[in-house]
Amino acid sequence: MNLSILEKIMKKEPAFRLKQAKKAVFFDLIEDWSEATTLSKDLREKLQKEVSLAIKGEMFASKDGRTVKARIILDDGLAIETVLMKHSDRRNTVCVSSQVGCPLGCLFCVTGEIGFKRNLTASEIVEQVLFFARYLKKENEKITNIVFMGMGEPFLNWENVKEAIQIINDDNCFGIGARKISVSTSGIVEGIEKLAKEFPQINLAISLHAPNDRLRGELMPVNKKYPLEKIFQAVDEYIEKTNRKVMFEYVVLKNVNDSEKQAKELVKILKNPLYMLNLIAYNPNGRFEPSSPEKIKKFKNMLEKGGVFTTQRYRFGSDIEAACGQLAGK
Ligand code: SF4
């Protein structure tokens, strides 16, 4: 659905009509304008002709049924991927993409490998949420959490991500609380500053993946522009302004970033009660190998002994290439 066209049409109507139309689409989850009974018949017919509510997408479900990936085809024919993760405690998290491809080229990430095609519009970001909201409605369930951890770097498309967050958070639209929304960044410092200022309730996650600049620079070229010192400075300012915890993501790569020495280095940089570390099992894309579960366990124990609050993420959807770093839009 193209929000700009909707907004243009609604400019000729009283202001509350746009609110009613958005509520019909994002709250009532109508799939056809004829269902928007709060709008006049003429307006519904006009919208039916000019603002399509159809989403071109196909779905892939993992064997364990806990992950569903959607491949959405955009109006210009490009494809993006978005993932629904169903947690055992009835939380339903949607992992949203913010760009088609990504310009940052992290070595462990398939999205980075395909390069950057373009930024997504706010409508295209919101459409991913809408796709799964409609899907869950049929199961009598709702989206409870949103993470901007799909394709792309959200802070390189901030204006559109921001507009999408407003719709996701709006009680008349999806109504998902700010504290249930997370933005994950590779460490774009200006973005972290904007998040703290504009959305202090929204969670921040940092893709860390290495305990020092040398290794991080090899894995994530963006580290040359935003080295760890700058990132941690921005994170600490974010914490000072928001008093919120910050999650650091760490994909564990065999013989690359999983040694005892590296665990000790991590302990040194992550000793802060408001820092959390999330270990992610690597989903092989040809370049690296995953660490064994035993090695990850040992690594986690060392971090915990060193006082770092550490979690380990369930491996969602690796069989349908829906897991972290596997989204390619192929
Ligand atoms: S990990 Fe994130 S920032 Fe890095 S290339 Fe992949 S999508 Fe881009």
- pLDDT, averaged per 10 consecutive residues of the chain (330 residues), comes to 92 93 96 95 95 94 90 95 91 96 92 92 97 96 96 97 97 96 97 97 96 98 98 98 96 96 98 95 85 96 97 68 58
Residue 93 in tokens: 């998290």
Grouping H, G, I as helix, E, B as strand and the rest as coil, residue 58 is: strand
Please confirm, yes or no, whether 324 is among the known catalytic residues.
yes
Q: Residue 321's pLDDT is what?
A: 60
Measured in angstroms, how far is the CA atom of residue 241 from the centroid of ligand 1?
27
Q: What does the alpha-carbon distance between residue 307 and residue 314 come to, in Å, rounded to a whole number?
A: 22
Show the DSSP H helices in the chain as ranges: 3-10, 15-22, 41-50, 110-114, 122-138, 158-169, 189-198, 213-219, 228-242, 260-269, 293-305
Q: Residue 184's pLDDT is what?
A: 96
- CB of 105 closer than 6 angstroms to any ligand 1 atom: yes
- CB of 188 closer than 6 angstroms to any ligand 1 atom: no
- CB of 186 closer than 6 angstroms to any ligand 1 atom: yes
Which residues are within 8 A (CB) of 178 and not within 5 positions of it... i.e. 6 or more apart? 169, 199, 201, 202
Instruction: Give the angle 157-134-32 at the CA atoms, nearest 5°.
Output: 100
Q: What does the alpha-carbon distance between residue 163 and residue 3 come to, in Å, rounded to a whole number?
A: 11
Q: Residue 330's pLDDT is what?
A: 55
Phi-psi region of 217 (alpha: psi -120 to 50; beta: other; left: phi over 0): alpha
Q: What does the alpha-carbon distance between residue 246 and residue 139 come to, in Å, rounded to a whole number?
A: 33
- CA 281 to mean position of chain CA atoms: 18
Q: Residue 320's pLDDT is what?
A: 54
Mutation probe of ligand 1 site: the residue of 102, 207, 283 with most atoms within 8 A of C-beta? 102
| pTM (predicted TM-score) | 0.94
Mutation probe of ligand 1 site: the residue of 82, 106, 118, 248 with most atoms within 8 A of C-beta? 106
Contact 224, 217 (CB under 8 A): yes
Q: Residue 325's pLDDT is what?
A: 59
Please confirm, yes or no, whether 45 is among the known catalytic residues.
no
What residue owns the CA closest to ligand 1's atom 4? 106
